[in-house]
Chain A
Amino acid sequence: SAVISQKPSRDICQRGTSLTIQCQVDSQVTMMFWYRQQPGQSLTLIATANQGSEATYESGFVIDKFPISRPNLTFSTLTVSNMSPEDSSIYLCSVVLNEQFFGPGTRLTVL
């Protein structure tokens, strides 16, 4: 299995600001994924982040709002830009290493 850590674990932010979430994996992985889980809801894929190429975004998510970096095979960041209360969610990174594993999530509250 993979050990995935995320920072911060939670944050409370003001409207209009940006937050960068970090994801660190204990193994080298080709593909990393960022999911969003809105309050009381299921998980929705935001984008797929491959090392050495631009992230691929799902319908309804754009790079300007959720820029992603993938500088190496064990690390990725997701930025939530120009936040509004509707961005209040849990953001989870995920990797495939034989199976698909999830990090503990970052709980974001936007006031």
Chain B
Amino acid sequence: GQQLNQSPQSMFIQEGEDVSMNCTSSSIFNTWLWYKQDPGEGPVLLIALYKAGELTSNGRLTAQFGITRKDSFLNISASIPSDVGIYFCAGGIYNQGGKLIFGQGTELSVKP
């Protein structure tokens, strides 16, 4: 079946540092989504990407849809303590409705 490889699994950084995480797949996806999950909560959508090569920003977050449609990255600039959480990438395919395949998650810890 389709799988997403997300890396790194975890990151421990200092406040103010930039963060980068990525997802790769052996399959093509039509959409890439990035979510953040806080403890005890459901995932919250950060950025949605719909076109190969698309680069989209949301505040300090920037994500890109890889040109091969098999990868995506998320960057967080100037991290702050509230960035702490688990970040998930998810790939979707149009003709499978809203079915998403999720990466394993990147757990981010930010040291003040």
Contact = CB atoms under 8 A, between A and B. Distances in A.
Interface stretch (B11-19, B39-47, B52-60, B68-76): B39-47
A107 B90 CA distance: 22
Interface string B1-45: 100000000000000000000000000000001010000111111
A42 B100 contact: no
Interface in B67-102: 88, 90, 92, 97-100, 102
Is the interface on chain B under 10, 10 to 19, 20 to 34, or 35 or more residues?
20 to 34
B98 A42 contact: no
B41 A105 contact: yes
B104 interface: yes
Interface of A: 4, 31, 33, 41-45, 48, 59, 92, 94-96, 99-105, 107
Considering the complex of A and B, which 8 residue pairs feature the smallest CB-CB distances, nearest first?
Answer: A102-B42, A96-B98, A42-B102, A43-B102, A104-B42, A105-B42, A102-B43, A42-B104
